Amino acid sequence: MGQPSIPEISSIIDQFCNWLDSFGETSYDHQSFYASKLGRAAKALYYRKALLGTLAVAPMVASEAFLPSARRFFYKAQRFPIADAHYAMGFAFLAQLRGGKKYYDRAVHFLNVLEETRCPGFEDYCWGYPFDWETRNGPMFKNTPLITTLPYVYEAFSQVYAIDGNLKWLKIMKSIADHGLHAYRDIETSSDASSCGYTPAADDPCGVVNASAYRAFLLTKASIELSEQRYREVADRNLNFVLSAQNSDGSWYYSMDGARDFVDHFHTCFVLKALAKIEQLTNNARCTLAIERGVAYYTKNLFDQNGLPLPFSRAPRLTVYKRELYDYAECVNLGTLLQGRFVDLDQRVSKVVADLLQRWRKQDGSFRARELLLGWDNVPMHRWAQSQLFRSFAFLLFQLSPNRQEQSLAVSAHPSPASV
């Protein structure tokens, strides 16, 4: 995959860990401008009446574009379950590579936090956003479970379980999978395919492609690790929806609802990485074909002439930024998953990593959040996307390390979920 070297990646990770220790585990967020009652009201007006709504959200948009640090005046710093899950996975990779208790204890710490921050009022373990989120379909209140968060948390518990064999984690994995199976509405799209809901709401409109991709991966992984065929049956129907939703050019729209037909960088990565993980688990030839077509579109249309990530190939609106850290993080993640299979993708990832180190990394070890039309958004946000990038670099280090196979075999000596 090219530069940087293993020692350089290791140093990047160590500096980031030092920053995380000093900065703390709460942060502002991409949605902080719109999480307050005033922000939500302005955004709701924007969805109902475009002209008036544009005037209402203008101060937030202007702050986002020219004064990102103003987030602190709009909403409070919080911790985010999806970030905690990514940190848990990143530290688990380091524990597997470096041994000792230091990194393992950090991974377990984030699992303990996730136990404490699960959505209240649900029988099974589940997680969502800690803020109210105004959508085009109305408000999504905090602690609403999200199928787009659930798989990351499941992966985190599964990864640490593979290290220590703690049956407590196995029980939580089972609970997460049961929630993923039962709580989300399915709408049949063909005789063998269904689109799932984004939330457990009974009237969730479904249709969001990455939501079904996430659920397909979660339930496929759980079906194998927990020896539950009923998970696989539902997973296959969601997978078939995702495969059928792929456009002739290899892309996926965000949603098949006819309204949100944009194509963006990190949601494309979400779909592709779900397919890549399912392919690894099942050797599904249809996934392989979809990945090949999807990567061809991705490398051709979601990078500029310099090989750097573009936020959109088909944009839904005017944007106030040039580039997004989330796109970089997911590019590294996807490229590591598919390392060595696509020359163009490997080249893109090499350039992305080099640009991260040259322009995005700050002296304190964290990374800039966005490259704006003028200047940078330097506000570190765990969910957007410090944690995702940390996990991606830890995963990249794990994959590149020469002792990876030996370490993996040592981990597999613990009981697997299916054998307990």
Range of lowest pLDDT (59-68, 101-110, 390-399): 59-68
Helix (H, G, I), strand (E, B) or coil at 193: strand
Are the CB atoms for 215 and 267 separated by under 8 Å? no
- The pLDDT of residue 3: 60
Residues 6+ apart with CB under 8 A from 250: 293, 294, 295, 296, 297, 298
Average confidence score pLDDT of the chain: 93
- The pLDDT of residue 19: 98
Q: Which two tokens stand for residue 52?
A: 């008036």
Q: Count the neighbouring beta carbons within 10 Å of the beta carbon of residue 233.
A: 12
Query: What is the share, in percent, of the chain residues with pLDDT greater than 90?
Result: 87
The pLDDT tens digits of the residues spanning 181-233 come to 999 999 999 999 999 999 999 999 999 999 999 999 999 999 999 999 999 99
Q: Which two tokens stand for residue 312?
A: 């959109």
- DSSP 8-state secondary structure symbol assigned to residue 401: -
The answer on pLDDT for 414 being more than 50 is no
- The pLDDT of residue 2: 54
Q: Which two tokens stand for residue 146?
A: 């999200």
State the pTM of this model: 0.95
More confident residue, 173 or 411: 173
The answer on pLDDT for 406 being more than 50 is no
- The pLDDT of residue 420: 41
Alpha carbon distances (Å) from 333 to 78, 276, 395 = 25, 11, 7
- The pLDDT of residue 120: 97
The pLDDT tens digits of the residues spanning 4-43 come to 789 999 999 999 999 999 999 999 998 999 999 999 999 9
Alpha helices (H) in 67-143, listed in sequence order: 81-98, 101-116
The answer on pLDDT for 315 being more than 90 is no
* 417 band by pLDDT with thresholds 50, 70 and 90: very low
